[in-house]
Structure formats: C-alpha cells, structure tokens
Amino acid sequence: MGFLDVSKDGPLAMVKVNRPDALNALNSEVLGEIRETMEALDADSAARVVIITGEGKAFVAGADVAEMVDMSGGEAEKLSLHGQRAFLQIERMGTVVIAAINGFALGGGLELALACDLRYASEKAKLGQPEVTLGVTPGFAGTQRLPKIVGLPRAKEMLLTGDMIDAKRAEEIGLVNEVFGAEELMEKVTEIALKIASRGPLSVKLVKKAINEGLVLGSQEGGAIEAKYFGECFASGETGEGMRAFLEKREPSWKE
C-alpha cells in the first residue's frame, strides 16, 4: 500500500505510517489504507498483536491541512466519518493494537493513538489536540475518546486550549501507559507486545471485547457480558490447557 509499511514477525505485525515529508499527516487515502490494513490483520489469526508507529520524527502530526483547507461543510463531515470508521476498526478488532508514539501525535494523530488499546511514548513525543487553534473541532472522535481515557477536566483542558503536552505530562494524566527513551521505545514496546501474544489468544480477544462493550453498559449488564465470555473461554478448551499447564508447571500450548 502507498503510505503504510506492513511487516510481520511471528505473532507480531508492525504498521508504520510512512509519509515523513508531510510528518505522516492523514489524508483520505491514508485513512482508507489504515482501515483496510487493520481489517486484513484482524482476519489474520497469526497476527496476535499489532504495533503502529510513524516514520521519521512524527507518529502522525495530524490530519492533512492541505487537503482540508478548501473543503465545504459537507466534504468535511464526510472526511470526519471516513476517519472515524478507520479508527473504529482499530477499536473493535479482536487483535490488540499498541501505539508506539515516536514523535508528534497531534490532532488526527492523537486520535489514532486514542483508538489503540495501549499507548507508549518516546521521551521526545509531543501530544495534543490543537484543532481549535485552526478554528475547527476534532473530527476523528477525539472529543469522545479523550475524556474516557484522561477524565473530563483534563480532556476539556487539552481540547479547549489546543495546547501540546510532553510525554512526561501525558504519562502523568494517563494518556500514555509509559514513557521510554527514544532509542529503546520500539524494543520496549515489542517486549510488551510479545508478552501479550504469549497469553491465551481467545481470552485476550474477549478481554478487549468485554472492556469495550462494558464501557457503555451498567455494572450488571457489563458483568453479564463478562460471565458470557468467561464461559466461552472454558467451552473453547483454552482455559483447560491454560489451567493444566499451570498445574503441571509448564508453558501452555495455545491453539492457533
């Protein structure tokens, strides 16, 4: 594909946004590629964890302003929905997706990271939702996901001021899970991804699904979803293998 480099190594898949001349900015084509790539990886049982990052000094520096500047209101709404569908694919896919934020993650770039399950940042990363400085709102669900991750007061502060924050501050407010040195970011993220990939494949998928579905349910309804998936793990045989391996003091042998 044109702007994404995709590689696979055992249970891991690496997706790199490769448009460094534009700081990996998201245009319509890139958004379409992200959606198609994630759909394909979700259907690939060998890919248990996906890592997404950016080429050069940016993760993704935002949506492509050059593409948007002369858009009509209708065209802009269409672009917004296009981006939301791409990122919803990341959120809904059974495969775990980790954002390795190697540099600027602004606007649409931060919204891409917000759709991922885990976020780890380089100490050099800068993050923010600067849309109001351009006289526009976030378009790829930043107003919806950011409050759920960092809480309403912090999210409103970022969204209403448009200010950037550094990686340390992002970690303090829970926007990223952890900050690593620039040279060790990919090594550390790969270690985490391999750890997740070593766990029960079905149980990992159902944990992600239960969390996402439970966010919009009450405690009782969410608990019922959890009980259902708990039972599915036993019915699949994965739980039996995991528990027997534990009792026999050996590593489990998961089904592909």
Active-site residue, selected from the candidate residues 111, 178, 221, 256: 111
Tokens standing for 11? 């249970």
Nearest to 35 by CA among 87, 93, 81: 87
What are the CA-CA distances from residue 92 to residues 12, 62, 85, 211 (Å)?
Answer: 18, 22, 10, 11
How many CB atoms within 10 Å of residue 248?
9
Active site residue 131: yes
Question: 2 and 41 in contact (C-beta within 8 Å)?
Answer: no
> Percentage helix, strand, coil, to 5, in the chain?
50, 20, 30
How far apart are alpha carbons 190 and 175 in whole angstroms? 19
Rounded to a whole number of angstroms, the CA Rg of the chain reads: 19
Query: In one letter, which amino acid is 223?
Result: G
Query: In one letter, which amino acid is 109?
Result: G
How far apart are alpha carbons 94 and 84 in whole angstroms? 18
How far apart are alpha carbons 256 and 46 in whole angstroms? 7
Question: 79 and 111 in contact (C-beta within 8 Å)?
Answer: no
Active-site residue, selected from the candidate residues 33, 55, 131, 238: 131
How many CB atoms within 10 Å of residue 156?
14
Active site residues: 111, 131
